[in-house]
Chains A and B, each alone.
Chain A
Amino acid sequence: MSDSPALEVRNITKRFPGVLANDRVNFKLGKGHVHALLGENGAGKSTLMNIIYGLYSPDEGQFFVDGKEVSIKNPHDAISHGIGMVHQHFMLVPVFTVAENIVLGAETTRGTTLDMRTARREIRELSQKYGLEVDPDAIVEDLAVGTQQRVEILKSLYRNATILVLDEPTAVLTPQEAGELFQIMDQLTEKGVSIVFISHKLKEVLFVADEITVMRRGQVVGHTVPDETSEQGLAGMMVGRSVLLEVHKNPPSLQQVALDVFQLRVHDERGVDAVRNVTFQVRGGEILGIAGVQGNGQTQLAEALTGLRDIEGGTITINKHNAPEMNPRALVEMGLAHVPEDRHKHGLVLPYHLGDNAIICTYYIPPFSKGLRRNERAIMDNAERLIAQYDIRTPSPLVPVGHLSGGNQQKVIVAREFSRNVSLLLANQPTRGLDVGSIEYIHQQIIEMRDRGVAVLLISAELDEILSLSDRIAVMYHGEIVKVVEASTVTRTELGLLMAGSTGEPDQPK
């Protein structure tokens, strides 16, 4: 093996209308190394990788594979130079079998007929060689997400990839699946595969990488190795200033009960109990965190609290009103703020511009409406004010919010909800998929709401987020609240056990 790097790019520049997405980027991937590419959303990591995979063509720059200059104009070129890519959103045909997905575009045939028998055999051999267990005849849509990812990796290996680009591979995985992925990566590098690992999660980058390159605003701003840096250091490089990874907050000053949930029962779409006899209270000035692995009834609980889903039993009392009798608008008028779980589906109207999204729950009252007409002046003033106050990065308030980055979209929702006169805040996965800078900002805003005396119910699957923000933590498992604990005394391990359904007490005989 020569000592030239497996892959090197020099001076890659890519302009999109109005943005310099990659600015003279240099990147070198050592043979058999895991090289992490770290950066906030919109820093240009994915653009760079799409260029390397031939999906975009760069305005300037050179590619070198094994020390030789090559030209990469489309995915076909990239594949023939041994570059494989596992996209963040998997590129698998759900109704095809594993084998069909793997051979697609690189089929072997006998005469005119597809030779699936040979393909299956080759796939089995590959699975064994790299320890990627998967059944070639399984239908992809029946597989768990982690297994689908293995199919994606196999797809690249089947094309003899020696350079693998993993784009945010852990974003869709459970912690266990992520652990398995890291083992697979070990096995791959042992066999000489070089890996580019794209992420914005600091912990896993430090854990998995041999080298780290940090990008910010289209430029490479740093290069380091895990032994010489820390989470704090990496976060600073990513954001360009020092970042508070810990949230500082004063002890809560408790006020009246704002939300009182008693023996609540809610069904899911299939008519099965998703929330079972849940009882809790949230007072003004405190944050109650609901911890739990996703899919344990949090979604249905949030929908019931915001009037989006009928309840089957129990009561919900918000500011002494019987909430299930009220429609969502009445709840909003009573002072409920809602940061929904899925910002695209329930938080924003993506084709509408920022100004309209910011008044979506107040458009019908003055100053935004004048009789039957809209008051454009007030709507724009409001938008400008929120953009300044909440540091939303947008070229103009008239840009459709669908064009903003995820972090800025979330800031639009936060701005809309937090700027109203509210007494109860329901924040459901408020920082999902966001980068460190945005997370820090939104966390500060939530703490500020609490200090203003707002009752906050925080639902999150991120243990770190729950631990750093909450005053008390309720752990949800299979639709029930397993236990409510004080955030200051509980440990990660205890929470982890509770989230897996153990109550920390000896099992009762059933």
Chain B
Amino acid sequence: MTARPAPSTPLAAFPPWQRWLKRWWAGLVLALGISIVIVYYYNQVPDITTAVLRSTVRQSTPLILGALCGLLGERAGVINIGIEGQMLLGAFVGFLVNVWTANLFLAVMAGILTGALLGLLLAFMSVTLKIDQIIGGTVINILSLGLTGYLYTAGLLTEGKLQSIRIAGLADIPLFGPVLFDNPPITYATVFLVFLIHYVLFYTKWGLRTRAVGEHPRAADTLGINVYLMRYWNVIIGGGLGGLAGAFLTLEAVGSFERGMTNGRGFVALAVMIFGKYTPLGAWGAALLFGFATAMQTQLQFGGKIDIPHQFIGMLPYVLTIVVLAGFVGRTRIPAADGIPYEKE
């Protein structure tokens, strides 16, 4: 037994809402500040404000999905730095299926399936073969970059992309209406998934077991929980979400595929996951912040009102990523068994 400094006041001593506040106060203050700024600008320039917020939601969607992908794996104890690759290949295959079948639903499913298969590959490498998980993720990234680069042929045309669905009534609310209730299907699905995964992780048997496997796999094993199976499924489902993020890019946002079009979003999603403290709701908030930075960056570059070289403005989201990772990684509690292959005795 080593003497451990007594925790000043255990967090458990506080009622739940105070605990929640202690954990999230910084995010709340930030959200409040941004809300005030938004309302202010909405009064000044309603059109631009609405455009920036719509862009925020668009930009944040792949980040949320990517973060949910990483989060499921890491909560179960598998580090996934292959999100970028899962997105990219998902985007590519989704796009191809759309070209061939002209069926957007099939295309989206193909994107999800592609991501899930890459998840299966990652799970096989890290759970069964027990190779270093960072290398496993890198393999997936390089594989996807290589495959898409090699197989891509320019000039493929599609039958269009997923269109916005206006929810009548709600979409007429000023400011929030057009931002929240006039979006294409994957964007709606993403918001639903945030709450679904939050519920699954924290209020179901599956979630409790997933978190146990990521924290103390041997304890779970002695209680008859199949550690390997839990890890496999979480990484596969996560991969599906990564694939969906890719499908969003080609089938909803852009409508076509370009080489390397994920452009580091998979890695920003990792930052989003960490900034969101490995929780779906936190990741949602963090993704909106990053999406907002990207939207602002676009607006400032093309709004042409200020005199800063566009390279600097373009840096904004990436600088934010670095600041967040440097400032928050140490303070976030990572699942204890994250990245450590489980060996049965």
Give the interface of A toward B (CB within 8 A).
Answer: 50, 53, 55-56, 74-76, 79, 85, 87, 91-97, 100-101, 103-107, 109, 112-114, 137-139, 142, 145, 155, 172, 270, 294-295, 299
Contact = CB atoms under 8 A, between A and B. Distances in A.
A55 B222 CA distance: 8
Nearest to B224: A76
Interface in B1-54: 1-3, 5, 7, 10-12
A114 B204 contact: yes
A172 B2 CA distance: 10
Interface string B189-212: 000000000000001110011011
A101 to B, nearest CB: 8
Closest 8 CB pairs of A and B: A105-B223, A295-B3, A76-B224, A91-B219, A142-B10, A139-B12, A107-B205, A93-B216
A104 B204 contact: no
Given A75-B222, A113-B203, A104 B336 contact: no
B209 A55 contact: no
B218 interface: yes
Given A75-B221, A75-B222, A104-B220, A97 B3 contact: no
Contact of B336 (A50, A94, A105, A145): A94
A10 B216 CA distance: 33
B5 A104 contact: no
B345 A79 contact: no
B12 A97 contact: yes
A86 to B, nearest CB: 10
Contacts of B212: 93, 96, 104
Contact of A93 (B204, B215, B221): B215
A112 B204 contact: yes
B345 A56 contact: yes
16 contacts: A55-B345, A85-B222, A91-B216, A91-B218, A91-B223, A94-B336, A104-B220, A104-B225, A107-B205, A113-B204, A138-B10, A139-B12, A172-B1, A294-B3, A295-B3, A299-B2
Contacts of B7: 142
A109 B218 CA distance: 24
Contacts of A93: 211-212, 215-216, 219-220
A296 to B, nearest CB: 9
Contacts of A142: 7, 10-12
Contact of B216 (A85, A92, A107): A92
Interface of B: 1-3, 5, 7, 10-12, 203-205, 208-209, 211-212, 215-216, 218-225, 333, 336, 345
Q: What is the interface of chain A mostly: helix, strand, loop, or mixed?
A: loop
Nearest to A342: B2
Nearest to B13: A142
Given A75-B221, A93-B212, A137-B12, 15 more contacts: A91-B218, A94-B216, A95-B336, A96-B211, A100-B208, A104-B209, A104-B212, A104-B219, A104-B223, A106-B223, A139-B10, A139-B12, A142-B12, A295-B1, A299-B3
Contacts of A87: 222
A93 B220 CA distance: 9
A324 to B, nearest CB: 24
Contact of B222 (A91, A137, A299): A91
Contacts of A56: 345
A270 B209 contact: no
Contact of B225 (A105, A113, A139): A105
Contact of A114 (B2, B205, B221): B205
A145 B2 CA distance: 11
B192 to A, nearest CB: 16
Contacts of A101: 219
Contact of B224 (A79, A92, A94, A114): A79
B222 A96 contact: no
B1 A145 contact: yes
Contact of B204 (A50, A75, A109): A109
Contacts of A79: 223-224
Contacts of A50: 345
Contacts of A97: 12
Contacts of B208: 100, 103-104, 107, 114
Contacts of A85: 222
Contacts of A109: 204-205
Given A145-B1, A294-B3, A95 B224 contact: no
Nearest to B10: A142
A159 B224 CA distance: 12
Contact of B209 (A76, A95, A105): A105
